[in-house]
Amino acid sequence: MKYIVEKFTNFGVVPVVVIENAADSPRLGKALSDGGLPVAEITFRTPAAPKAIQLMASSCPDLLIGAGTVLTIDQAKTAVASGAKFIVTPGFDALVVDWCLKHDIPLFPGVMTPTEINMALNKGLTALKFFPAEAAGGVKTLKAIGSPYGDVRFIPTGGINLNNLGDYLTLPSVLACGGSWLVKKALISGGEFEIITRLAQEAVEIVKEVRK
């Protein structure tokens, strides 16, 4: 877990991927690596997710690949068997959390309220996904909700883009930001991998500027 947290801190941005065709994943992985952002969260929002993780992991061994939108233990098992190195859930599911902790799988459960943060802390988890970030009040809410929890780091996800990325990254409580804007489905399915590389580079530059 410590290794993943350190990587996330260095990256500053974790691309959140919804992929329709698993065969696109190797080119996507290369595009992200070429853009200086060798990390991807492949979400279980499509049936292609397990195969996409497998293909990306085999073709891009230096890429840090995880699974997102994991809702069940079976999905978590499938993700890990496919090569995922970390699990991200949209909400706090005690069954999934306990399974991941039992099997030493790095996990970032989704939270939005102090109650959910307390539930995570009771499990020994201090790196959490804050979702849906913008819909829940954005930077203002995260600043307020993070104040009582000095040891907790958040990965805000949902509605983040190049325009507000820097605002989130300035918060001491933010570990990294989850972002789908640089890996939109239309870009992937349309083979626009050069654009994905450029968007990754732009995100990396913002991270460097804010955290220099």
Q: Residue 45 is part of a domain; what is its CATH number? A: 3.20.20.70
Cβ count near 68 (within 10 Å): 28
Cβ count near 69 (within 10 Å): 18
Q: What is the pLDDT of residues 10-28, one digit of tens each?
A: 999 999 999 999 999 999 9
**Token pair of 188, please?**
């992937």
C-beta of residue 199 within 8 angstroms of C-beta of residue 32: no
Number of domains observed in the structure of the chain: 1
Report the alpha-carbon distance of residue 81 to residue 55 in Å, rounded.
12
**Could you list the active site residues?**
41, 129
**In terms of residue numbers, what domain contains 88?**
2-207
Q: What is the pLDDT of residues 135-179, one digit of tens each?
A: 999 999 999 998 999 999 999 999 999 999 999 999 999 999 999
Q: Is residue 212 part of a domain?
A: no
Whole-structure pTM value: 0.96
Q: Is residue 83 part of a domain?
A: yes
Residues 6+ apart with CB under 8 A from 20: 46, 48, 185, 188, 189
